[in-house]
Structures are given as structure tokens and as C-alpha cells.
Amino acid sequence: MTSTKGIDLNAKVTTTKLGDKYKPSANSAQGNAASWETITSLLAKGPQTVGGLQKALKENHNHAPFVGYCLRRGWLAIK
């Protein structure tokens, strides 16, 4: 995926095999490790919407754009 512009916020996402192996470093930009931990803890409960993940990251880390970044990098996929 090259762009997440205009993505459906109600689209359900899951982690990919690549995402299962992703381990951000604790000192990565924008606290990626903390944001990824939030995403994986929510996805452990089942598929989540793009909008729901963005809301959680905004509330907890002020890092909502990270969801789009994870989709573009292939760590998350639309179900």
C-alpha cells in the first residue's frame, strides 16, 4: 500500500505476518514502541477499525498517523 489517503475509517484491520515480527525499538521516532503496543493489545481482542485505532493512539500517545504508517509498511492489513 503506497497511500492511506481517503482510507475508510470503518475498515477492519489485523496484523500481518510481517507485523507479527515487527519489534520497534524503545527510542524510535514518536514512541513507536508504545503506539505499537497499544495497537497489538487492541488487536488481541479481535479486528479493529482504522478509526478506532487512530482514536486510541490519539488519546494515549497523540500519534494517530501511526496507523496509516503501519498499513503502508505492511504491519497491518485491511481485513
Q: Could you tell me the residue ranges of all domains in the chain?
A: 12-78
**Is residue 1 pLDDT above 80, yes or no?**
no
* Residue bearing the bigger pLDDT, 77 or 24: 77
- Mean pLDDT of all residues in the chain? 91
pLDDT tens-digit series, residues 18-47: 999 998 876 777 689 899 999 999 999 999
C-beta atoms surrounding 49 within 10 Å: 15
On whether the CB atoms of residues 53 and 67 are closer than 8 A, the answer is: yes
Crossing angle for the helix pair 32-43 and 66-73, nearest 10 degrees?
A: 80
Cα separation, 57 vs 66, in Å, equals: 8
